[in-house]
Copies of this chain bind each other. A is one copy, B any other.
Amino acid sequence: MAPRTDALTREVVDLIATVVARYHEEYEEAAAKHALTGAQAKVLALLARESLPMRRIAQLLKCEPSNVTGIVDRLEARGLVERRPDPDDRRIKLAAATPAGLDTAGRLSESLDFAREPLAALSAEERGVLRDLLRRMLEPGA
């Protein structure tokens, strides 16, 4: 096992911590620009791609389904999302973005791209190297 006191490893961990912190700041900031909280922005972004059952949203957010109820409630109250029945299973409620929700999600996505692009201010080749390293880092380690 690599020693925990390895200066290089420690520095990489610190840098990652910084990336994480900055990413979060920018995400929350971009969401706030559209009067959304971070959680609401995440759900809206998910639903902009496809309608999802409540339970599936909970899985993706790694939280309890009962929590999703509240988040979708608030999005629905603002007309950004609606609940629709699943034709194949009447237990399921599909949360779907409304046209207004799609519009907001689109502008949100632009804000995010805009905010994150400075992070990728590396040459194409460097971005490729970074991609490979990140991929390897995230590989399912035993």
Give A residues with C-beta under 8 Å from B.
1-2, 4, 8-9, 11-13, 15-20, 22-25, 62, 110, 113-114, 116-122, 124, 126-131, 133-138, 141
Give CA–CA (A103, B66) in the complex, Å. Answer: 36
Closest B residue to A133 by CB, please name it: B130
Among A24, A110, A138, the one with the most B-chain Cβ atoms within 10 Å of its Cβ is A138
User: Can you identify 14 A-B contacts, CB atoms within 8 angstroms?
Assistant: A2-B117, A4-B110, A4-B114, A11-B131, A12-B134, A16-B119, A19-B19, A20-B20, A22-B138, A118-B141, A121-B136, A121-B141, A130-B137, A133-B133
- What is the total number of copies of this protein in its complex? 2
Give CA–CA (A127, B121) in the complex, Å. Answer: 20
A122 touches B138 (CB 8 A): no
- Of the residues B9, B11, B23, B141, contact of A16 by C-beta under 8 Å: B23
Given known contacts A62-B25, A137-B122, A127 and B9 CB-to-CB distance under 8 angstroms: yes
